[in-house]
Structure formats: C-alpha cells, structure tokens
Structure 1
Amino acid sequence: MADQNDQRPLRTLSEAFKELAATIDSQTADVDIASPARSLSFPLSFAALASPPSSRRSIWSPSFRFRTVKDITEASKTIRTLEDLLEEDIMANTVRKVGSHSRNLLKLKRGVDMVRAIFENILATGGDSLRDPASKAYLQVFENHHGWAIRKVAGAAMYSLPTLSELWKMINEDGEFMK
C-alpha cells in the first residue's frame, strides 16, 4: 500500500523545502547543485496544478518548469556547486544570456518565491479565493521583471484560477493545515 503522503503534494512540498533549507543552512561553504534542483522541482510542480490553461508559456507551464529544472539537474552532472555554476557563467559572460544556468536558477528561485508568497497571502486573507492571493503574489514577485504585455496576460490568467476548495480537491488535500 502506498504511503498516503505520496498522494499529498503539499506534504511533499513541505519536505522538499525542509531538505533545501537544511542544505543551505548547513555550515558548509559549498552548496551542491543537485539538492536545490530536486527541491525546486516540487514547488513548481505544485504551482502547475493551479495553472490556468491560458498560461502555456508562463512560469506555470510544464515546458518552463521542466526545461529550467532539467538544465540545473544536467548542470549538476558536471558542475558540483552553485558557486561553481555562477563562476562558470561569469567567466563565459553568459549570466544574463537567455537559457544560461544562472538565469535558469534565478527563474526557479522566483518560481519558489511566487509559491511562498501565494501561501503567505492565503494565510493572511483567508477565504476561498486563490485569485486574490495569487494576484498579490504576482505583483510582489514578478511585476518588476515582466513587461507590460506579460503583466496583462498574467492578470487575465488569474481569472481562470480555481477556488481554494477546488484546488484542495485537485491535489487530494483537505485544506485543514491552512487554518
């Protein structure tokens, strides 16, 4: 029989964050790339569950999530630490280049920030709306990094988000942990 937590993405998400925090909080100077890559894939997978169908090219899209996580995971096979990854991109002058490891790492970090901000906003506001907490989180995390057109698409996409009750059903959760 499968462990019930295997079917509860928020429990998996919580464990992934704990693992990532332990890795980062360890007093070692070097942070291995593989652990953050694994941990970051869970929040982005969770976020995709709530993604509106109209957001195929956004942070929520499967192609975005898996392309960026795959890039960091592949990089971990030849580059051992985050510091080495950043130094390599700095030396190659590719830090700001689309598709670079460091830029993909930044995108993943912002995706995790978005998920964190959504949950903080859900806890702060209560109610059954996902649209309002997600809209506020988008403004907190992404607004300054997106152009006008992407901001408008993101704003419109918020109207197709499920309610929290619908989301809990979709991910086999009861929402009690949020109260």
Structure 2
Amino acid sequence: MARVVGRKDEKILTRLADEFEQLAAQLNSPVPIPMEIGKFTQACRLVSPLIRHLGVAMKFADIEYSAKVSGVVKAGKSVNTLEELLDRDIQQNTIKRQSSGSRLLIRVKRSLELLKIIFEQIMASSGNSLMDPVNTAYKQVFYPYHGWASRKTVAGALQTLPTKSLFFKRLKLDEASAFVQMQRIVTAVAPLIHYIDNLFLSRESAKELLRLL
C-alpha cells in the first residue's frame, strides 16, 4: 500500500510556496479578506528552516527573524487581523515604539522582500555561488538601515554560504524543481508585500514607519 505523504514530509520550499499562494489567493479574491495574523505568521514561520539551510553562519539571521515573527504573534493576541494590529497601535500612540507590532510587521515584511529578491537573483544567475544573489538582496533591503557592525557581520556570513547546488541538495530538490517552487513563492509574496505597504500608506500617521527599520 502506498504511503500517504503528510505535511511534515513535504519539501520546505514546496510547503512555503503552498502557504504563500493561499495568502495571495485570499488577497486576490474579488472581495479581499482582511489578512488574519495567525495565517500570516504561520506562513512566515516556514521561512525559518529555509534560512537554516544556508548554514550555521546564518543562525543569527534566523534568530532575529524568528523573534520578529513571534513578536507579531504576541502583539496580535488581542486583535485578529494585520489591519486591526496597525489601527490599534495608531489609536494607542505606540506605533513608533521599537517593540510595537507595527514596527515588527515592517521588519517581517522586509524579510519577505529579501527572500523574494534572493530567489529572483538565484534564478537569474548562471554561476554556482549564492554570494551575489544574497548580497544583492541584502544591499537593496537591509543595508541602508544597518550600521557598520551589522554590515560586517553580514559580510562575514556571506563568505560561508553553501554553493547553489549544495543548497538545492539540502532542500532535496534539483535545480529545475527548485526554480519552479522559487517562482511560485516570488509570485505569491509580491501581492502580500504590496498589501502590507498599502496598510501603512493608507494611514497618514503610519506612512513614516516604512522608512524606518
């Protein structure tokens, strides 16, 4: 008898694509449904094991990212949607606090932007190195907000990245299959990033946060 494959047995890149496609479908529906914090963070948590496949030197990035996602979960315990989370921070005048759910949401959003650009760069590059794709993404997303110490840490971590082929091996996918899943994720994450940006842009008191880390 054939074994039924459960969610835990699925390749992480495929699971990530599935989760983000569900969120994108929700946002792209004729009558968009407000994004629930639980569904959003459930998908975002799947990025963490993907980061770990990039090697031990990226552990600091995984710890920082996971803390931001957990922070959004904690901040959203008394509300249900990302929109409600932002509005509550505005009403309570806590939106600019470093630990506010809104600030943490922006940082998670930037991590999704980073992931999107990394995958775009990997698919566009012909070599076997991950350094250029990751470095290009980092410089576009986080570099402007980081100080010298953070930039130096990232530069050191870039030197330890696995080759593209080893990365795919860790993901248990060949290049062609990995590219299919990466493109699915790139396509699905784009409307999610756009949605979060619009949440802030549509509120005068929240626009400024998009320029902050």
TM-score, normalised to structure 1, is 0.86
1:158 and 1:11 map into 2 onto residues whose CA distance is: 25
> What's the counterpart of residue 154 of structure 2?
154
1:34 and 1:157 map into 2 onto residues whose CA distance is: 31
> What's the counterpart of residue 39 of structure 1?
43
1:84 and 1:97 map into 2 onto residues whose CA distance is: 17
Q: CA deviation at 1:2?
A: 5.2
DSSP-derived class of the 2:159 partner: helix
> What's the counterpart of residue 50 of structure 1?
54
Counterpart AA for 2:102: S
DSSP-derived class of the 1:160 partner: coil
> What's the counterpart of residue 71 of structure 2?
71
> What's the counterpart of residue 8 of structure 1?
11
> What's the counterpart of residue 194 of structure 2?
none
Q: Name the CA shift for 1:164/1:2 in 2 (closer, same or farther; >3 Å).
A: farther
Give aligned-pair identity as a percent: 31
Q: CA deviation at 1:98?
A: 2.0
5+ residue gaps in structure 2? 181-213
Q: CA deviation at 1:11?
A: 0.5
Contact 1:33 1:80 in 2 (8 A): yes
Deviating more after overlay: 41-50 vs 98-107: 41-50
Q: Aligned-pair RMSD on alpha carbons? A: 2.2
Q: Name the CA shift for 1:69/1:136 in 2 (closer, same or farther; >3 Å).
A: same
Q: 1:24 aligns with which of 20, 24, 27?
A: 27
Q: CA deviation at 1:114?
A: 0.9
Moved over 4 A (4+): none
> What's the counterpart of residue 101 of structure 2?
101
2:6 and 2:128 map into 1 onto residues whose CA distance is: 25
Deviating more after overlay: 115-124 vs 64-73: 64-73
Aligned residue pairs total: 175
Q: CA deviation at 1:83?
A: 1.4
DSSP-derived class of the 1:127 partner: coil
- Is 1:169 the counterpart of 2:169? The answer is yes
Counterpart AA for 2:124: A
Contact 2:52 2:59 in 1 (8 A): no
Contact 1:168 1:175 in 2 (8 A): yes
Contact 2:51 2:58 in 1 (8 A): no
Counterpart AA for 1:110: R
> What's the counterpart of residue 136 of structure 1?
136
1:83 and 1:121 map into 2 onto residues whose CA distance is: 31
Hey, which of these two has a bigger chunk of helix by percent?
2
DSSP-derived class of the 2:140 partner: helix
Contact 1:30 1:83 in 2 (8 A): yes
Q: CA deviation at 1:169?
A: 1.6
Q: CA deviation at 1:137?
A: 0.8
5+ residue gaps in structure 1? none
> What's the counterpart of residue 205 of structure 2?
none
